[in-house]
Chains A and B, each alone.
Chain A
Amino acid sequence: MLGKRGIIFKPLAYGSPLLWLGIFFILPLAIMFVYSFSENQGILDIKLTWTWDNYAKLLSLVYLKILLKSLILAFFTTLICLIIGFIVSLYLLSLNKYLKIFLLFLITLPFWTNMLIRTYALIAILRSKGYVNFFLEKIWLSLNSLLVYFQIEPFMGEFVPLEILYTNLAVMIGLVYVYLPFMIFPIFMALDKLNYAYIEASFDLGANYLKTCFFIILPLAKNGIKNGIIITFTPVLGSYLIPDLLGGRDSSMIANLIERQFKGANDWPLGSALSLVLIYLTFLIIFISGLKKNKT
């Protein structure tokens, strides 16, 4: 059909994204790959010696610990996103068309603001004298004054602010907040295409709401959920900004460690090895999920 024009357009159509991928993905990755087998020489120089030292260093307890911690944090963040995302998607499904579009628009709204600024906003909300504690204190004081008024002892005493900021909890809150839309959209897309007849049939056959949810909707939304998990888990595992700004003494994640190697430690080879391990992990996750998809 395309005839002669296809000869020109086809390479162009395939070529430009390939070129893009080559320059901005493959090439930097190749440089890092080479670095990861190199050694530092003096202050500036890095010499390719095909050493496995950098990878061997990663096997030390310290790095494994931080990697494991990152995996755990990413796992729970994804889990929370999944639960909230599924509920939100179900709710969106029940709305009329216009309201649905409006709410979807609201979910995309945060993307219009830089993540750095949104994270700073979270600092203002979560800190000891932030908005959360401000409202909690208000509630505390009014409850206490009620107790005093009715002479119900013991009184509640002085308000102690919740220390949320600079803990792993704050990191989790930040991660869920930022990555939730990545979970909502794929699940919603999957649910949106759902044939309502299945749900109605389920109700007609006597299943209650929960049963319909778990045995009908959930399996049908499986692919959306899978995609959601991948595109949430992967960036969360490599997140850098949020643990850096919201985290406390125990919140360093793998990406923060990578940054240290490139800056403070002046150890680009080790930093490259660490980055590549993170990338291998990501590939592994995608590979496993692809494997399962092929089976079904």
Chain B
Amino acid sequence: MERQKDFYLKSPISRRTFSKNAGGFLLGLSLLKKDLFANSDAKVLNFYNWDTYIGENTLGDFKKKTGISVKMDLFADNEELFARFKKGNPGYDVIVPSDTFVERMAKAGLLEKINQAKIPNFKNLDPIFLNPQYDRKRNYSVPYMWGTVGIGYRKSAVKRVLKSEKLDSFKWVLDSDAFKNRIALISEPSTMFRIVLKYLGLDPNTSDLKQIKKAEDLLIRQKNNFKVFAEDNGQDLLLAGDVDLCVEWNGDIVQVMEEDEDLDYVVPTDGGFIWEDALCIPKNAPHLENAYEFVNYLLEPNVGREIAEFIGYATPNLKARALTGKSYRENPAIFPPSNILKELWTTKYLGEKVNRFYESAWVRVVSS
């Protein structure tokens, strides 16, 4: 109990929870749009990453090996990353957007074409990651980590309500009042609507606005059972006992599961999906050569192992995965069993029109 009381002092900030409130400020700064760090010869690299999304010593080791010092800034979500690049590259060399945002940024001409010949360690990657639908042939991206979206839950609460510790459907989040006021959704329209579409038996990547409207209606109907639309901090609410179920990224839940044995994570096949984050080099990167060297370094087996074990997300790097310990390699919350994995789907970039419809539908849900 002591732990819960000074929870905020101790809890590790997960990759997606970095105070998004810095976002507005950074957004303002980006309007100034100056290449503040531009200096092409220098032994430096500007890395724009999620919080807690790199190994403890990775950047230091890289400097020791190459003499290049990495300046890392953090972003809280893809939207923030995108907004900062909207008016041009503010000076970064390597960024880490997620799947659909790789496609969106590539389509907008914001990404440098990757020359795979300059990344010898590309061969360490699992071949199944080399031709994703969001970036065929890997023209613009290098896979970094992948994971799932599912439900983090408190086992004792689920047992009390359902008489069983097994939670196997999104029904309990989306279509039932069994956990009234004990549910946190993720405040990301494109994620939530797709889950609902899948739950309704529709195509989660549909561009049909009428179908998305059906998902909206379901959320409005269910709204009073939600406690909060969490800003990527569902795992904190779960840990602190404010909610019993939350829709979240697996790694976030893995991190709090280490602190509380009563927590668990599941990817129900009637809604859960697979996401992927990739290393990209934005156009006009001031230190292009350093960027290639850095990306190549991150793909080294030992470096990849250190990062993966530290952050608790699944690595697409076969050589790195082979070096990891059993508790990581065989963790079902990190690597879902293959029978579940084959039922999951991935997201597609659907264009600005659908994206804006998601947003306006979300506002209707929130204000209903």
Question: Which of A's residues lie within 8 Å of B, judged by CB?
Answer: 28, 31, 40, 42-44, 62-63, 65-66, 69, 116, 120-121, 123-124, 127-129, 131, 134, 163, 165-166, 240-241, 244, 247-250, 252, 257, 259-268
Contact = CB atoms under 8 A, between A and B. Distances in A.
Interface stretch (B57-65, B113-121, B223-231): B223-231
B231 A244 contact: yes
A31 B87 CA distance: 14
Interface in B79-114: 79-80, 82-83, 86, 104, 107-110
B363 A248 contact: no
Contact of B228 (A43, A66, A248, A257): A248
A265 B360 contact: yes
B8 A123 contact: yes
Given A43-B104, A129-B241, A266-B356, A249 B364 contact: no
Given A252-B363, A262-B24, 12 more contacts: A44-B110, A124-B5, A124-B7, A128-B242, A166-B242, A240-B21, A241-B21, A263-B83, A264-B355, A264-B358, A264-B359, A266-B79
Nearest to B226: A249
B189 interface: yes
Contact of A43 (B5, B77, B107, B358): B107
Contact of B229 (A249, A263, A268): A249
B194 to A, nearest CB: 14
B178 interface: no
Interface string B164-192: 00000000000000000100000011100
Contacts of B79: 263-264, 266
10 contacts: A31-B31, A43-B104, A65-B367, A124-B6, A248-B227, A260-B359, A263-B83, A264-B188, A266-B82, A267-B356
Interface in B315-368: 352, 355-356, 358-360, 362-364, 366-367
Interface-central residue, A40, A124, A165, A263, by most chain B CB under 10 Å: A263
Contacts of B358: 264
Interface in B198-256: 223-224, 226-229, 231, 240-242
A163 B367 CA distance: 21
Contacts of A247: 228
Nearest to A117: B8
Given A42-B352, A124-B8, A244-B21, A62 B363 contact: yes
A127 B242 contact: yes
B130 interface: no
Contacts of B109: 44
B367 A263 contact: no
B4 interface: yes
A103 B3 CA distance: 34
B66 interface: no
A263 B188 CA distance: 11
B19 interface: yes
B257 to A, nearest CB: 18
A262 B356 CA distance: 11
Contact of A165 (B24, B242, B356, B364): B242
B8 to A, nearest CB: 5
Contacts, number: 109
Given A166-B228, A244-B21, A252-B367, A263 B77 contact: yes
B23 interface: yes
Nearest to B365: A249
B230 to A, nearest CB: 9
Contacts of B108: 42-44
A263 B356 contact: no
Nearest to B353: A40
B228 A62 contact: no
Given A28-B31, A44-B108, A264-B189, A252 B366 contact: yes
Contact of A66 (B77, B189, B367): B367
A10 B225 CA distance: 63
B50 to A, nearest CB: 15
Contacts of B240: 127-129
Given A127-B240, A249-B227, A249-B229, A116 B359 contact: no
B27 interface: yes
B86 A259 contact: no
A266 B228 contact: no
Contacts of B229: 249
B336 to A, nearest CB: 28
A75 B340 CA distance: 51
A215 to B, nearest CB: 43
A62 B240 CA distance: 33
B27 A262 contact: yes
Contacts of A62: 360, 363-364, 367
Contact of B359 (A134, A165, A240, A265): A265
Contact of A128 (B80, B104, B241, B352): B241
A28 B1 CA distance: 49
Contacts of A123: 8
Contacts of A241: 21
A266 B367 contact: no
Nearest to B223: A249
A249 B228 contact: yes
- Minimum-distance CB pairs A-B, first 5: A263-B79, A265-B359, A43-B108, A166-B228, A264-B79
Interface in B1-40: 1, 4-8, 19, 21, 23-24, 27, 31
